Structure 1
């Protein structure tokens, strides 16, 4: 059946809403002047595209169709399984397009039938190092137009330092590894104790007395083989801070003491690397991004006079609701992902406070402190 026959198969003279993969194959073999439009996301193109197809992701159809698609030629729209292409076809028909049809069964049926394909020049360079199994592992992230293949590849190429593998560090490490951050360096000189277990969810009772860094690294590697995990079973201090922080894209401050927090902030400020800061106290938590290189304050802007250890007790001394570090750690993970991929608005110059008893959240503006260390 030619495209003309296909168009005449309805009373209106317009093509049927759907056509089969074999009809499309026959039209291509006969050299019929049809145009093919692939509405899949970029990561899905790794397996190839139909011969001569142009790529317009579904979300871009409203803005791009007028310029990219010739309304006078029969257009066949396809996706992976024929669902999104049908949505696109119905949308375009509602906008007055007549010569348009959706390929039922989509690319999956085309592939199963071993019909002809060609590589997508748009993605072939990016696909060289792309393992097809990643399509399934990161599917929920790849389907986000704001993230997609480009964003996922940014994550896989990123390096993040996590300072402390305690109540905050455990959820941060877990979710960054799961998200596919390519290299995680974890630093902590502590071992697991029984009192850690209500809030440090990477560890179990049998782990008491063992190194937190070693245990966490082993779990993260098993969780996601894509992630390179580097262990440092030592405390970050003024002697090693610059070496540990150099070359990182982001540093995550999940420390349990202000001495280390200031060391992290000072070294990262010198190197121009953002620090995602999180802290918890009893039922309250806070998150912010220290990044003087992008006109955001540093820790010393927030605390010009460093608090003493007596003023800021640890979780074991003051107490903390076990779920709170998990909640704050998730927010820290989110800020890291936003910074690495360029999506959303990170908390530069803003302090997010969380009160778990009232479920209140507030955003407080922070300004760099005039004369601060980070402004010199």
Structure 2
């Protein structure tokens, strides 16, 4: 396998080599005999196999075996400094241009084991079920399309209305009165004809309303309008299917997102287990009953809608590619508008008797 050095800068400092790949941090590598510097300089001249590198290093006066060089390369790999040289691109000039930024992003996470092209291929093979294409959902659709997710199933029941234009940029004045989900699917097809998109104009009132949409889905993402228990309906559906969920939205002065990894993290119903019952004759019970009955007009303005959509999309990206672990699995991440959108995570309790967690099929 040919090895490539990622873009970086270095300089000798006494017996050390100072090396910078990510501007936020500098690596200091002990290098009293200059071998590390010579290895880095040799790699910077172009991709090479460990055998070729060993030969080049011997030409520069370092008598190292191929195994010595291989161990050195693995050390650089552990620091995120090298990657596979022959799998940076998708092999199609049109696709390489289309996914240039995505490939560049994943270059920060690529290694000898997994190339940047591997991550993008994973996205192109993925299927995401998007629930809701309104406020945050419309931004979510745009992000997923930008990733190049290969298959999207969009679910919504609303029609385009003038009040949507403060925050939903998939739609135009001429779309007023049309099905949002049909128009959103049209937008995706116009944006990238290579994405397979399906529009489902359907009201979701129970888990069975989602059952026929789960086949082959990798992640369910978004949020639906409905009663206070609509997210528990979605939670039961994803637990039955064993498919991760990423959802979010806005309260009056808070932005929230969370995710559920069935069989791994606590679920949304677990989160209900330590909440006071609205029927309790306590101050907490009364407060919850009042909160559940409170009618909130949609205060989701454009930048907040885009933030909700992007947070959900980024967590979805974690599930789809594994470039890093899901950050919101089994916890609620809240960004408080009153404190400048400072995030704070609160883990869900784990309910050993949760009836939704008991529905999760055995993992393959």
What TM-score do you get using the length of structure 2 for normalisation? 0.67
Give the equivalent residue in structure 2 for 1:197: 165
8 Å CA contact 1:283, 1:320 repeated in 2: no
- Is the alpha carbon distance of 1:349 and 1:76 closer, same or farther for their aligned partners in structure 2, counting shifts above 3 Å? closer
Which residue is equivalent to 1:351? 332
1:133 is aligned to: 94
Q: Distance in 2 between matches of 1:339 and 1:140?
A: 19
For 1:350 and 1:166, locate their aligned partners in 2 and report how far apart those are by CA, in whole Å.
24
Is the 8 Å Cα contact of residues 185 and 230 (structure 1) preserved in structure 2? yes
CA distance in 1, matches of 2:203, 2:291: 20
Other structure's SS at 1:201 match: coil
Q: How does 1:278-357 map to 2 (within 5 A)?
A: 278-294=248-264, 296-304=265-273, 311=292, 317=297, 319-346=299-326, 347-357=328-338
CA displacement at 1:97 relative to structure 2: 4.7
C-alpha distance in structure 1 between counterparts of 2:173 and 2:203, whole Å: 24
Describe the SS at the equivalent of 2:130: strand
CA change 1:370–1:121 in 2 (3 A) is closer
Unaligned runs of 5+ in 1: 1-53, 63-70, 79-83, 101-119
Q: Is residue 165 of structure 2 the alignment partner of residue 184 of structure 1?
A: no
In the alignment, what sits opposite 1:361?
343
Q: Distance in 2 between matches of 1:193 and 1:216?
A: 14
d(CA) in 2 for partners of 1:302, 1:165 = 26
Does the CA-based 8 Å contact 1:283-1:321 persist in structure 2? no
Q: Which residue of 1 aligns with 2:28?
A: none
- Unaligned 5+ residue runs, structure 2? 9-18, 20-35, 61-83, 111-115, 279-287, 359-364
CA contact (8 A) 1:253 1:264 kept: no
Preserved CA contact (<8 Å) 2:87 2:117: no
Change in 2 beyond 3 A, CA 1:255/1:309: farther
CA RMSD after TM alignment: 3.7
Match for residue 225 of structure 1 among 175, 193, 200: 193
Whether contact under 8 Å (2:123, 2:149) holds in the other structure is yes
Change (3 A) 1:375 1:217: closer
Contact 2:42 2:57 in 1 (8 A): no
Q: Is the contact made by 1:253 and 1:261 (CA closer than 8 Å) also made in structure 2?
A: no
SS in 1 for 2:292: coil
Which structure has the larger Rg over C-alpha atoms?
1
2:5 aligned to which of 36, 42, 58: 58
Structure 1, 323-332 or 176-185: larger mean CA deviation: 323-332
- Superposition map of 1:149-188 within 5 A: 149-188=117-156
Change (3 A) 1:355 1:240: same
Residue of structure 2 equivalent to 1:50? none
Q: CA deviation at 1:59?
A: 3.4
How far is the alpha carbon of 1:288 from its aligned partner?
0.9
Deviations, residues 210-257 of structure 1 (Å, cap 9, x unaligned) = 110111111111112221111101123334211112321000132123
State the shift of 1:122 in Å: 6.3
Does the aligned pair in 2 maintain the 1:287–1:351 contact within 8 Å? yes
- Give TM-score, length-normalised by structure 1: 0.65
